[in-house]
Amino acid sequence: MTKHIALIRGINVGSSKRVAMADLKRMLTGLGFADVRTLLNSGNAVFEASLSPPTVTAAVEQGLADDLKVPATVIVRTRDQVVAAMAADPLAALATDGAKHFLGFLAGTPDAAKVGQIPELAENADTAPDAVRLIDDHLYLWCPNGSLNATFTKVNWDRLLGTAVTMRNWNTVGKLVELAAD
C-alpha cells in the first residue's frame, strides 16, 4: 500500500461546497482506502491505497460528487512525490515563513509553449518582492507580504497553465507529509 495525499480544491471556502471532515473520512474509507486521516477543514486527506494517483483522483472526485453531492477538483500525490517536490523547492533560500510560502499542485504538466507566454514566469519578470517558479507539475510561490498582498493574487493560474492548480502553504504541506508518515 502506498501513502497518498489528496488535495481537494474549493471545499469549505465560504458557504458553498461544505463538507464535514467526518463525512469525507467516511467516504474515503468507503472507497476502500485505509488509515484515512484529514487535516484542517479545507480538503486535505492522507490515506493508504494500492492504486495509482490518477486512479485515486478519479475515485475521490466520483465519490465526492455521488456520495457527498459536492463536485470538486482533486489532486493526488503520493507522499514520496510531495517530499520530492518540497526538496526541489527553488525558493528555499528566500522563503523564511511557511505561512507565506506556497506549493501549488498542478493536475497536469502544462504545455511548454503556454508557460513561455506567462509574464510572471519570465526570467526577467518584475514580481518583487514576490517570487514564483514552475518545476514540472508544481508551482512554488514566495509572498513575503502575505498572499492577499501578493503580485499573484489576481493571477488565474488554471487559465494560464491550462490545468487545475490548488495551493497549500508550506506549513500545511509539511503537516500532510508528517501525517502520511505515521
The number of residues in the chain equals: 182
Q: How buried is 67 (Cβ within 10 angstroms: 0-12 exposed, 13-18 middle, 19+ buried)?
A: middle
Grid cell, residue 75, equals 489532486
Quick: pLDDT tens for 18-32. Answer: 788 899 999 999 999
Decide whether 2-79 matches 82-181 in CATH topology: yes
Q: Is the distance from CB of 173 to CB of 103 less than 8 angstroms? A: yes
Q: Given this model, what pLDDT does residue 12 score?
A: 67
Q: List the domain boundaries for the chain.
A: 2-79, 82-181
Q: Is the distance from CB of 35 to CB of 99 less than 8 angstroms? A: no
**CATH fold for the domain made of 2-79:** Alpha-Beta Plaits (3.30.70)
Q: How far is CA 163 from the centre of its chain?
A: 12
CATH code for residues 82-181: 3.30.70
Q: Given this model, what pLDDT does residue 11 score?
A: 78
Sequential pLDDT tens for the chain (182 residues): 999 999 998 776 666 787 888 999 999 999 999 999 999 877 899 999 999 999 999 999 999 999 999 999 999 999 999 999 999 999 999 999 999 999 999 999 998 888 988 988 888 888 889 999 999 999 999 999 988 888 888 889 999 999 999 999 999 999 999 999 97
